[in-house]
Amino acid sequence: MKHLLAILCCVLFSACGTTIPAKETYLPVTERTAARQSLRFNGSLAIAPFTAQAPFAERSFFYRESAQRFVKDPYREWLSPPAQLLTLSAQQWLQASGLFSEVLSLSSKQTADYQLSGELLTLHTDLQSHPLAVAKLHIRLSSATSPVILETILTASEPLNGTQAADIAAGLDRALASTLKQLESKLISLPNH
């Protein structure tokens, strides 16, 4: 019995000496820096809050280690759920693009001429061979007169400049920006509305 008590004490003391790393939080800074486009959609745009497929609705960073194995990082995460951050980024991006007469604020109750919805299908770091930041979105644009103007899947893979948390966050930010650039290009290719 004394031997068991001594072992338990040793385990408890060693556990007390272990320090848990502090959580690190990141915020994507996806910004559109190109010149404004010509007006393509004569009307207002409302962006519905984006959704995300599980597990990518969580704030944690995810790593793909093999075809079937994904790992959740317990210490690195986004400041808010990625779908919320992406909704705001899309709103700011499209507002800066000049493609719509007006892009309504996310809190607006005004009825818009066009509606954009999105779903985050994946946002992870692929560590299988060469580290890549991967983003994949499902986007749908509609209006009262046309239930589907555009429905598309946007995918981006960006190489990482390193494997530190800041490098990973920056790579994921570039991948998200790439999907928004693709969205803008697809909107430009549509006939004027």
| Domains assigned to the chain | 35-189 (3.40.50.10610)
Which pLDDT value is given to residue 3? 45
DSSP three-state, residue 101: strand
75-105 as b/e, with b when 16 or more CB fall inside 10 Å?
Answer: ebbbeebbbbbbbbbbbbbbbbbebbeebbe
What is the DSSP code (8-state) at residue 107? Answer: T
Query: Which residue in 113, 74, 111, 106 sits closest to 92, CA to CA?
Result: 106
Q: In this predicted structure, what is the pLDDT of residue 123?
A: 97
- Residue 20 has a pLDDT of 81
The pLDDT of residue 144 is 86
Calpha distance 25→150 (Å, rounded): 34
pLDDT score of 175 = 97
SS3 state of residue 141: strand
**Phi, psi of 170, rounded to the nearest 5 degrees:** -65, -40
Residue numbers in the chain where pLDDT is lower than 70: 1-18
Q: What is the pTM of this model?
A: 0.87
Q: Which are the contacts of 6, defined by CB distance < 8 A and separation ≥ 6?
A: none
Residue 17: its pLDDT value, please? Answer: 56
Nearest to 132 by CA among 141, 122, 142: 122
93 has which bridge partners? none
Q: Helix crossing, 165-189 with 82-97: angle to 10°?
A: 50
**Phi, psi dihedral angles at 151 (to 5 degrees):** -140, 120
